[in-house]
Chain A
Amino acid sequence: MPDQDLPTGGGGAPVHPPAATTTSAHPPAGTAGTAGTAATARTAAPARLCEIAADDVAALAAGAAIFGTGGGGAVQTEQMAVAAAIEKHGPVPVVTVGELTEDDAVIVLSAIGAPSVGIEMLPAEGQTETIVREVERITGRPMTAVMAAEIGGSNGVAPVGWAAGMGLKVLDADGMGRAFPQGTMISMNVAGLPSEFAVMADTIGNVSVLRTINLAWLERHARAITVASGAISLGAHYVLTAETAPGAVIEGTVSRAVQVGRRLLAASEPVSELAAELAATVVVSGKVIDVERNTEGGFTRGSVTVEGVGADRGRLTRVEIQNENLVIIEDGVVVASVPDLITVVDSETGEAISTELLRFGQRVSVLAWACDPLWRTERGLELTGPRAFGYDLDYVPFDGGRR
Chain B
Amino acid sequence: MNARTDLSVGIDVGGTNTDAVVISPSGEVIAWTKSATTGDVTAGIRSSLAAVLDQLGPDRGAVSRVMLGTTHATNAIVRRRDLGRVAVIRLGAPASTVYPPLAGWPADLRQAVLAGYVLAGGGHLVDGYPIAELDRDAVRRLLDELEGRFDAVAVCGIFSPSFPEQELEVEALVQDHVGVDVPISLSSEIGALGLLERENATVLNAALYAVARDITSALTTVVVEHGLDAATFFAQNDGTFMAVEYAARYPVLTIGSGPANSIRGAAALSGADDAIVIDVGGTTSDLGVLVGRFPRESTLPREVGGVRTNFRMPDILSLGVGGGTIVDVAAGTPGTDSVGYRIAEEALLFGGSTPTLTDAAATAGAVVAGRELPPLDRSVRKGLAEALAVAHDRIESAVERMSLGRTGLPLVVVGGGEFLVPDRVLGASEVVRPERGAVANAVGAAIALAGGRADRLCAVADRVAAIEEASKAAIDKAVQAGADPARVEVIDVLETPVTYVTQPTLKVAVKAAGPVAHIGRKEPT
- Residue ID in chain B nearest A79 by CB atoms: B104
Interface residues of B in 342-386 (CB under 8 A from A): none
> When chains A and B are docked, how far (Å) is the Cα of A121 from the Cα of B129?
13
Contact (A81, B98) CB under 8 Å given A120-B159, A295-B497:
yes
Contact (A113, B92) CB under 8 Å given A18-B300, A18-B301, A289-B405:
no
Q: Is the CB of A80 within 8 A of B104?
A: yes
CB distance from A200 to the nearest CB of B (A): 14
- Residue ID in chain B nearest A118 by CB atoms: B500
Pick the contact of B95 from A114, A122, A359, A362 — CB < 8 Å?
Answer: A122
CB distance from A154 to the nearest CB of B (A): 13
Q: Is the CB of B405 within 8 A of A125?
A: no
Q: Is the CB of B405 within 8 A of A361?
A: yes
Q: Is the CB of B404 within 8 A of A230?
A: no
Q: Is the CB of B97 within 8 A of A124?
A: yes
Contact (A114, B96) CB under 8 Å given A120-B194, A120-B195, A361-B403:
no
Whether B517 sits at the interface, judged by CB under 8 Å, is no
What B residues does A114 contact at CB under 8 A? 126, 498-501
| Binary flags per residue of A72-97, CB closer than 8 Å to B gives 1, else 0 | 00001100110010000000000000
Pick the contact of B97 from A117, A119, A125 — CB < 8 Å?
Answer: A125
Pick the contact of B405 from A84, A205, A290 — CB < 8 Å?
Answer: A290
Interface residues of A in 238-284 (CB under 8 A from B): none
Q: Is the CB of B500 within 8 A of A122?
A: no
What A residues does B99 contact at CB under 8 A? 77, 80-81, 122
Contact (A361, B125) CB under 8 Å given A114-B498, A298-B499:
no
Whether B114 sits at the interface, judged by CB under 8 Å, is no
Pick the contact of A204 from B98, B131, B195, B502 — CB < 8 Å?
Answer: B131
- Residue ID in chain B nearest A81 by CB atoms: B98
Whether B82 sits at the interface, judged by CB under 8 Å, is no
> When chains A and B are docked, how far (Å) is the Cα of A363 from the Cα of B393?
13
What B residues does A127 contact at CB under 8 A? 98
What A residues does B301 contact at CB under 8 A? 16-18
Q: Is the CB of A230 within 8 A of B127?
A: yes
Whether B426 sits at the interface, judged by CB under 8 Å, is no
Whether B35 sits at the interface, judged by CB under 8 Å, is no
- Residue ID in chain A nearest B162 by CB atoms: A120
CB distance from B429 to the nearest CB of A (A): 17
Whether B494 sits at the interface, judged by CB under 8 Å, is no
Total chain B interface residues with beta-carbon distance under 8 A: 43
> When chains A and B are docked, how far (Å) is the Cα of A111 from the Cα of B103?
21
> When chains A and B are docked, how far (Å) is the Cα of A360 from the Cα of B317?
14
- Residue ID in chain A nearest B158 by CB atoms: A121
Whether A373 sits at the interface, judged by CB under 8 Å, is no
What B residues does A290 contact at CB under 8 A? 405
Pick the contact of B125 from A77, A116, A230, A360 — CB < 8 Å?
Answer: A230
> When chains A and B are docked, how far (Å) is the Cα of A361 from the Cα of B317?
12
Contact (A17, B193) CB under 8 Å given A121-B158, A231-B126:
no
Q: Is the CB of A14 within 8 A of B196?
A: yes
Whether A3 sits at the interface, judged by CB under 8 Å, is yes
Total chain A interface residues with beta-carbon distance under 8 A: 44
- Residue ID in chain A nearest B501 by CB atoms: A231
Pick the contact of B300 from A17, A81, A295 — CB < 8 Å?
Answer: A17
What A residues does B502 contact at CB under 8 A? 227
Whether B401 sits at the interface, judged by CB under 8 Å, is yes
Whether A123 sits at the interface, judged by CB under 8 Å, is yes
Q: Is the CB of A119 within 8 A of B125?
A: no
CB distance from B110 to the nearest CB of A (A): 13
What A residues does B499 contact at CB under 8 A? 2-3, 114-116, 231, 298
> When chains A and B are docked, how far (Å) is the Cα of A77 from the Cα of B502?
26
Q: Is the CB of B94 within 8 A of A204?
A: yes
Q: Is the CB of A226 within 8 A of B98?
A: no
> When chains A and B are docked, how far (Å) is the Cα of A119 from the Cα of B397?
32
Q: Is the CB of A361 within 8 A of B400?
A: yes
Q: Is the CB of A123 within 8 A of B96?
A: yes
Whether B132 sits at the interface, judged by CB under 8 Å, is yes
CB distance from B456 to the nearest CB of A (A): 15
Whether A365 sits at the interface, judged by CB under 8 Å, is no
| Binary flags per residue of B112-139, CB closer than 8 Å to A gives 1, else 0 | 0000000000010111010110000000
> When chains A and B are docked, how far (Å) is the Cα of A120 from the Cα of B498?
12
| Binary flags per residue of A362-382, CB closer than 8 Å to B gives 1, else 0 | 110000000000000000000
Q: Is the CB of B158 within 8 A of A120?
A: yes
CB distance from A163 to the nearest CB of B (A): 14
CB distance from A233 to the nearest CB of B (A): 10
Q: Is the CB of B96 within 8 A of A124?
A: yes
Q: Is the CB of A119 within 8 A of B500?
A: no
Q: Is the CB of A204 within 8 A of B498?
A: no
Whether B402 sits at the interface, judged by CB under 8 Å, is yes
Interface centre among B95, B123, B504 (most CB of A within 10 A): B95
Interface centre among A115, A116, A123 (most CB of B within 10 A): A116
Whether A23 sits at the interface, judged by CB under 8 Å, is no
> When chains A and B are docked, how far (Å) is the Cα of A392 from the Cα of B520?
70
Whether B299 sits at the interface, judged by CB under 8 Å, is yes
- Residue ID in chain A nearest B303 by CB atoms: A18
Whether A184 sits at the interface, judged by CB under 8 Å, is no
CB distance from A130 to the nearest CB of B (A): 10
The 21 listed contacts between A and B (C-beta, < 8 Å) are A80-B103, A81-B99, A84-B103, A113-B500, A114-B126, A114-B498, A117-B126, A119-B194, A121-B125, A122-B95, A125-B94, A126-B97, A204-B132, A226-B500, A229-B125, A230-B127, A230-B131, A290-B405, A359-B401, A360-B401, A361-B403
What is the interface of chain A, defined by CB distance below 8 A to chain B?
2-3, 14, 16-18, 76-77, 80-81, 84, 113-117, 119-127, 203-205, 226-227, 229-232, 289-290, 295, 298, 357, 359-363
Since A116-B496, A361-B402 are in contact, a sample of 16 more A-B pairs with Cβ atoms closer than 8 Å, ordered by chain A residue number, is A14-B196, A16-B197, A80-B103, A80-B104, A81-B98, A81-B103, A116-B193, A119-B197, A120-B193, A120-B195, A124-B95, A126-B97, A230-B131, A298-B504, A360-B404, A361-B405
